[in-house]
Amino acid sequence: MGRIEQLSERYRAHHRERRPEDFVFAFERIELFREAVGGPGRRVLDLGCRYGALTQHYVPGNEVVGVDVDREALETAAELGIETHWADVEEPLPFGDDSFDVVVVGELLEHVRDPGGLVAECRRVLRPGGTLVGSVPNAFRLKNRLRFLLGRKPEKDPTHLHMFSPDDVRLLLADFDDARLRFVAGRLTRLHARLLANDTVFSATKPA
């Protein structure tokens, strides 16, 4: 069995156990992603689209291409009327240079071995002036720090390979312009966003 088949089986089991088809971590992301994607008339690459729970909010009026390693999830996403590709995002993306107006990486970078390499591939397939939008768990939030102090692992998800601080995210976006970070999800986020938010949403622009 090849790597992509192994990953497909692993994430299919993970999705069934932990992530229902309508799962969208941090509902505040919906409006932020929809705003960043924009449209109508934009060509959008959605990496790690899963079942399309987030994708559906920026499909209307746009041409969306969804990529995921979970073949079963892609079958559901295809019902949105999007073009789907079964692929491992850690391999070179099967798209030409400068071919998308927007690339979406929602809750994906923490799952890959080389986040910087994936971001570089996103930049390659983006048209000049195009937008990269995504999100990662705010791994250094207070809750996780307290877990660490208590001798527990800060992250419980076995598929998470990386933990990102806000500075880590900014470093990943170093070759983009207009990088913007927002901190969402959590009842106490308004008191101290960086310390208490569950999720970091980011957007940036490929230089023209």
CA distance linking residue 63 with residue 39, whole number of Å: 10
Find the mean pLDDT for residues 127-142.
Answer: 92
Taking the whole predicted model, whether its pTM rises above 0.75 is answered as yes
Residues β-bridged to residue 204: 132
CB count, 10 Å around CB of 69?
24
Task: Please write the tens of the pLDDT for every residue from 16-57.
Answer: 766 655 555 557 889 999 999 999 999 999 999 999 999 999
Answer whether residue 188 shows pLDDT above 90. no
pLDDT score of 142: 72
For 28, residues 6+ apart whose C-beta sits below 8 A from its C-beta are: 184, 185, 199, 201
